[in-house]
A and B are shown apart, each in its own frame.
Chain A
Amino acid sequence: MIRFLLWLLGGTLLGGIVHLVTVLELPSLATHDAYSRLAPITPVNAVVPVPPPTPDKATMPFMDPAFAMAVCRYDLTNAPLKFSVPISQSYTSVSFYTRADVPYYAINDRAAGRRVIELDLMTADQHNDLPDNEEITAADRLIVESPTNTGLIVIKALAAEPGLIASAQETLTAAKCQPMPQ
């Protein structure tokens, strides 16, 4: 009996480890996470519109139907990225996600304070490699550091009324994400 209880105790302890490992490893094994859902419809380092959600079909669950959305699936392995989007009539935001769908930075039109949201996206290493004299002119350059080489830039423009969705989508077609020339 005692032997049985000892085996059960061992099993419970091992079960706790299994639980922790599965919870921690699940994000890297997931095949239906947002990044994997977007990958087939988004070429690398280009802005593509994401179709608005409908009751029959949505790229991701819990998408806000009041927003036009576009995505740039980036890869910084070769070069940093230049990103820009003109702001729309009501509300525009740009959110940055790691490969594991963790949001690490977001900016909206008011915080940008201009008619265009413009920034450079790079890894920490690429940021460190920037020549010193460029840092002087960097005063009006917004630099965002990506914790991972790949990830998502999600651009959203609000259509305050259903009739405005077309004009919100139109704004997003002017968004650009391009690798910097080396």
Chain B
Amino acid sequence: MRLLLGLLFCFAAAALIGLGTTWLALKDGVAYGGIAVGAWTAWPKNGTPGIDPYARAMVARSGELPIGSGDGIMFYARTDDAERPLDGRCDVVLAGTTPQARFWTLTLYDPEGKLVANSVQRNGFTSQEIIRNADGTFSITIGPRARPGNWLPTGGIERYVLVLRLYDTPVGLATRSGPDTPMPTISQKACP
């Protein structure tokens, strides 16, 4: 009887610990080998057959197709440079330059990776359509209300994710954070 109870307890603990840790790991996105520059993080290994098992499981669960390393690289930002979560009700300014690449696109998604509905049907910018300053830098205002210059609407949602994709770029597995990867800064301005 004691043996049976013990076995039951042992299996219950195993199921709880095993499935619980798996769920936690995939929910919070534990993946190895990320490169972080400011608020931005990329996982260049996810674009190669060397993708780690956790990232593979996450990709299978979310249903996205990771960008191939011969195509480009994808940087995610969920917070600003001060590590405050990106809030669609605030004005956030993204400014600076991007690393060397033939093209880049910046896109705003909700945390699940869906585009956000807004009145002007703009979900992002490409490197070709952005209005630049005389020195080649640019700045984009991300917020719920229309702004002059480059304005990226948030639709007023509470949390969002910014994704910067660099296409045909030397940035990749060998990249370290430093002067070679000048990512744009993200700073929160007005917040009601």
In the complex, the chain A residue whose C-beta lies closest to that of B165 is A64
> In angstroms, how far is the closest chain B Cβ from the Cβ of A86?
18
**What 1/0 mask marks residues of chain A from 154 to 175 whose CB sits below 8 Å from any chain B CB?**
1010111100000000000000
**Distance of A56 Cα from B121 Cα, bound (Å):** 12
Does B177 lie at the interface of the complex (its beta carbon under 8 Å from any beta carbon of A)? no
CA gap between A19 and B92 in the complex, in Å: 39
Bound complex: CA A3 to CA B142 (Å): 60
B64 touches A26 (CB 8 A): no
Q: A16-B17, A103-B69 are in contact. Are A110 and B9 (CB under 8 A)?
A: no
Looking at the complex, which one of B66, B112, B127 makes contact with A101 (CB distance below 8 Å)? B66
A30 to B26, CA, bound (A): 13
A7 and B107: CB pair below 8 A?
no
**Cα distance A15–B2 in the bound complex, in angstroms:** 21
Residue of B nearest to A104 (CB): B49
Count residues of chain A with CB under 8 A from any CB of chain B: 65
> Could you tell me the distance between the alpha carbons of A44 and B17 in the complex, rounded to whole angstroms?
41
Task: Tell yes or no: A51 within 8 A of B by CB.
Answer: no
Q: Is the CB of A23 within 8 A of B167?
A: no
A155 to chain B, nearest CB (A): 11
Which residues of the other chain, B, contact A105 by a CB distance below 8 angstroms?
68, 70
Inside 8 A of B7's CB, which chain A residues have their CB? 7
Binds A, one of B32-40, B54-62, B78-86: B54-62
Cβ A108 vs Cβ B17 within 8 A? no
Interfacial chain B residues near A7, Cβ < 8 Å: 6-7, 9-10, 13
Q: Which residues of A contact B (CB under 8 A)?
A: 3-4, 7-8, 10-19, 21-24, 26-27, 30, 32-34, 36-37, 53-56, 58, 60-67, 90-91, 93, 95-98, 100-108, 110-111, 147, 152, 154, 156, 158-161
Question: Top 5 A-B pairs ranked by shortest CB distance?
Answer: A18-B18, A61-B113, A11-B13, A15-B17, A106-B68
List 12 additional A-B contacts (Cβ < 8 Å) besides A18-B15, A104-B49: A14-B13, A27-B56, A58-B115, A60-B65, A61-B113, A63-B64, A91-B103, A95-B68, A95-B71, A102-B49, A106-B70, A147-B49
